[in-house]
Structure formats: structure tokens, C-alpha cells
Amino acid sequence: MVDTGLIKRCQQGEGEAFDELYQTYATKALRTAYLLVGNKNIAEDIMQEAFFECYRDIKKLRTPELFQVWFNRLLVRISWRMASRERKVIYESLNANDMERLPDRQDVLEVVEANQESQVIRQAINKLSIPLRTTMILYYYNDMSVKEISQIMNCFQGTVKSRLLNGRKKLARELKSKPGNLSIRMMPGCLKKESVTHE
Amino acid sequence: MNKQAQLEKSIKAALLQGVETLEADMNCLKKIKYRINTEKEGRKERIMKRINDHFYDLKSKVKRPAVLVCSIAVAAVLMCTFIQPVRVLAQEGINKIASMVYVVVKEESGKYEMAQVSAEDVYIGYCEGNTTVLNDKELAKEVGFDFNAPQALEGGYELADNSVIQVDGSDKKEISKLYRKEKSRLVLSITDQNYLLQVAKENGDNRKEVQVENNTLYYCERPLPVYPIIEKNGVKTNDVTQKPTGIKVIHSLTWEYNGVYYKLDDMGDGIPLDELKNAAKSVISYQIATP
């Protein structure tokens, strides 16, 4: 739930309100950016840029209730922009097979890869196209509705639904190709359209 | 739990697990704030550069900056002096009392825009305008120099009022004569200081030279912010701390004759250049005919 009072205080240029806004949304923004681009340093740059643009343009936000949609749109667009600029780096980061050879050994993924199933799912998501990956992340990580995602990505709700369906299809195909794993690879009913729940 | 729900749960769990150790730290906030402040300073610098380019770079070229920068302030004062003919109107040294003031800057697109800047960053001149019933001979004695100005201008403009402008920081006075034709106004400013010519030659926008009666006249345009007027201690004052209600563009012709500087402007009434030229021509003809 968005604290509209906080957003209004930010719009009035209150410095402390912006600090509070940062504390409330920064970690989620950083994590979303990281899921989108797969590199911690770039994710931090994206998050900083998003908050900078947020500070600069928040007065233009007419409906404070829509802050999350508005902010995530900023975040996603910056991520796409930086992803295209840093494609090579991101490609390397997302390629889990090469991870041990990456110079950034502090990379979070290396630390937290304990669960094989989760790792395989994340690798599969990372291989999705940018629109599909973005849709999957906004829906499954950010818990945004189809309508909100359509606003963020500036597309029809039907497009979001089909991207979710395609994303899951590709995910299942990818998971199937992994030898010896996982329980979900055997799920024939997992690609039904009605599995879209939080609209 | 059915299989599709299980898949969705697994996706959620995988995404959460992938980022659960990531936390945004406060150093990032410091970096963001630093950038915000840097951008603000950069914007301020850009605005100040435009202000300096536009209005005030004469400060470095001329000995009497207080007089020169008041070229704009005088125009603002005149707008009200003639509206309130019996009142004194002044543009006070607002910088002593206000922290932020509004100025007009020219954007890169060429459009005039208002900008709010710190009063410490701009020189706000003080000048005072008084309408007067003195005739030209008495006025010449009052200001300390002789001048020639007709009672009417070509195009049907009749002399409506005279005013004496005193600029703070200067012992010199400037004469302004208001000519009217219905709702159109022309103001003839007269001074023995050369700042009028310098503004026209070096600071105005769309500058060009115009030949009238074998004299070179300097045409230029300048923005004039229309500040709200407040009354303070019985004196009407332009309140530069309030956002201007609009921006007028003054069109003017400036020239020198016998060591005295004349500027004819339309006070932002949008009078065509040809009409302005004809009016200036009638002043020059009068000057030539009246030694």
C-alpha cells in the first residue's frame, strides 16, 4: 500500500520524505533491477538512476496512489536502457555456467545458490527475452497485477497475459531440458492460462 | 496444491531466494543526494550564466554597474510610474530582505522563461520614478543636460506624461516621456549616460542597425517581467519575490544625438518596427530642426 502522504511530501520537496521513500523502496528496487539485469553493480546504478529521476520528476506524478506503477516504469526503462548498453557484461553475469570464472566473486548469486531447483528456475528466467523476463519478474517477484504490468510496460493486458503464458512455456521447456531435475518438469497442467491469478 | 500453483510458488521462491541477501545501503542514498545537489548547482550555474549573458555582462565592461543593470529595472518602474502618475514607484533592493527572486532568462530555444534564483546571485538595482509637471526647460535643469523631444510623434502619438527616474548608486537622472495613441504607448528615455546605447549594441536580442535620417539607430528586443505590484510604506513597488504574471518583450530603437542618448520603446505593446521607426524619425527630425 502506497503511503500517499509520503509521496505528497516528496512532491513538495521535503528532504526527509525523500530519505524515507528511499528507505521504503530502495531494497525492492535494487532486487528488481538485479533480477532484470543479473549484475549487482549495474543493478545499483539502475536503482540510483531510478531514485534520481524519481526525485527530479516526482512533481509530475498526478496520482500519488500510482507511485509504484510510475516508479517501476522508471526502473524498468532504466534497466532496459542499461541492459542494452551493458549487454556483454550482463550476458556474462547471467550465464550461470561461467559464474565461477567471473571476476566479481562477491556476486550474490554465488553466495545464495543453495537450492538447485531455484537455481535452475532463475537460469531459465534469465534466458527469457527481456519483455518476457520483465513480465515474469514484475508478476512473480513484485506481485504486480496484469493491469499494473500493462501500465508499466505500456502494452495491453492481453499482451501481459500472453507473455506470462509464453514465459511459463519457455520456462517449462528449459526445465525439461535439464537432465535429472526437477519435480516441476513433469507438470503437464502448469501452462494453463487460468494460472494467472493476481489480476 | 495443484501443479500449476506449485510451479508459480517455485518461481516466486526462486526469485526471492536469488535476491534475499541484497540490501540497498545508505551510501547509495548519499550518492543520489550528491548527484541531485550537483545537478541543482549545474542548473543554477546554467541559469546564472544565461542571466549574466542576458542582462548583466555589462557589469564588467562599464564603470557604473548600478546604473547599467537598472536599464531593465527602469523599464519595470516605468510601466507603473505612468499607470500611477502621482505615486512614486521603486524597485527596492529586495536582496536585503528576500532570499529568492524571479528573473527572466532566455532558454536555448530562444524562448523567455521565468526562473527563481537566490537574491544573492543577482544584482537587483534600485530606482525610483516620479511623474512630473515640469516643462522641458525645467526638466533639463533638473537632470543637468539639454535635450530635444517633441510634443507628438508621427503616427498620432501625443505626449501624455513626463517622468524623472533616479537610479540608486548614481547621481544621474533619466527622463522618460510617455506618448499615447489610444491604448498604444511609446516611451522615450533620455539620458546623458551611454548605457542605453551599450545595452542596445551589446545586450539586446535580435539586434540590428537601422538608418533613419542619416543616423544609425540600434534596434533590439529585451524581456520585461511583469511583477505583481505591492504597496509598501505608501510606495508602489515591483515585488520581484513573486512570480511575474507575464513576460513582455520590449522593442526599442536607441541612438545618440549631440551627446545625449535617446531610446524609444514600445513597453511591450507589440508596436511594429515600421511604426517605431516612423516615431523615431519624427524625434530626430525635431532634433535636427531644433538646435
Cross-chain Cβ contact A22/B32 below 8 Å: yes
Quote the pLDDT of residue B168: 61
Give start-end residues of each CATH 1.10.10.10 domain in chain A: 114-199
The number of C-beta contacts closer than 8 angstroms across A and B is: 111
Give start-end residues of each CATH 1.10.1740.10 domain in chain A: 1-103
Instruction: Identify all chain A residues contacting B35, using CB atoms and an 8 Å cutoff.
Output: 48, 52
Q: Does domain A1-103 have CATH number 1.10.150.670?
A: no
**Does residue A159 register a pLDDT over 90?**
yes
Test mutation, A79, A112, A143, A194, chain B, max B CBs within 10 A:
A112
Mean pLDDT for B44-54 is 55
Task: Tell which CATH architecture fits domain A114-199.
Answer: Orthogonal Bundle (1.10)
Mean pLDDT for B114-137 is 74
**Does residue B263 register a pLDDT over 80?**
yes
> What global pTM score does this model have?
0.49
Q: Which residues contact A183 (CB under 8 A, 6 or more apart)?
A: A117, B6
Quote the pLDDT of residue A105: 41
Cross-chain Cβ contact A31/B2 below 8 Å: no
Dump pLDDT digits (tens) for A167-193.
888 888 877 776 554 444 434 444 444
Mean pLDDT for B203-220 is 88
Cross-chain Cβ contact B3/A109 below 8 Å: no
Mean pLDDT for B31-56 is 65
**Does residue A138 register a pLDDT over 80?**
yes
Question: Which residue of chain B has the CA closest to A20?
Answer: B29
What is the crossing angle of helices A157-177 and B3-19, to 10°? 90
The mean-pLDDT minimum among A3-7, A130-134, B68-72 falls in B68-72
Task: With cut-offs at 50, 70 and 90, classify the pLDDT of residue B26.
Answer: confident
Percentage of chain B modeled with pLDDT above 70: 71
Residue A56, C-alpha cell as written in the block: 527530479
Task: With cut-offs at 50, 70 and 90, classify the pLDDT of residue A136.
Answer: very high
What values do phi and psi take at B290, rounded to 5?
Answer: -120, 85
Task: Please state, as a whole number, how many other Cβ atoms lie within 10 Å of the Cβ of residue A113.
Answer: 16
> Rounded to whole angstroms, how far apart are CA atoms B202 and B55?
10
The verdict on ipTM greater than 0.85 is: no
Instruction: Identify all chain B residues contacting A197, using CB atoms and an 8 Å cutoff.
Output: 8
How many angstroms away from the CA of A109 is the closest CA of chain B? 6
**Does residue B63 register a pLDDT over 70?**
no
Choose between B172 and B211: higher pLDDT.
Answer: B211
Cross-chain Cβ contact A27/B5 below 8 Å: no
Cross-chain Cβ contact B4/A47 below 8 Å: no
The closest CB to that of A48, out of B4, B17, B31, belongs to: B31
Task: With cut-offs at 50, 70 and 90, classify the pLDDT of residue B99.
Answer: low
Percentage of chain A modeled with pLDDT above 70: 73
Cross-chain Cβ contact B3/A140 below 8 Å: no
Instruction: Identify all chain B residues contacting A122, using CB atoms and an 8 Å cutoff.
Output: 14-15, 18
Cross-chain Cβ contact A187/B32 below 8 Å: no
**Does residue A160 register a pLDDT over 90?**
yes
SS (H, E, C) chain B: CCHHHHHHHHHHHHHHHHHCCCCCCHHHHHHHHHHHHHHHHHHHHHHHHHHHHHHHHHHHCCCCHHHHCHHHHHHHHHHHHCCCCCCCEEECCHHHCCCEEEEEEECCCCCEEEEEEEHHHCCCCCEEEEEECCCHHHHHHHHCCCCCCCCEECCCEEEEEEEEEEECCCCCEEEEEEEEECCEEEEEEEECCCHHHHHHHHHCEEEEEEEECCEEEEEEEEEEEECCEEEECCEEEECCCCCCCEEEEEEEEEEEECCEEEEEECCCCCCCHHHHHHHHHHHHHHHHHCC
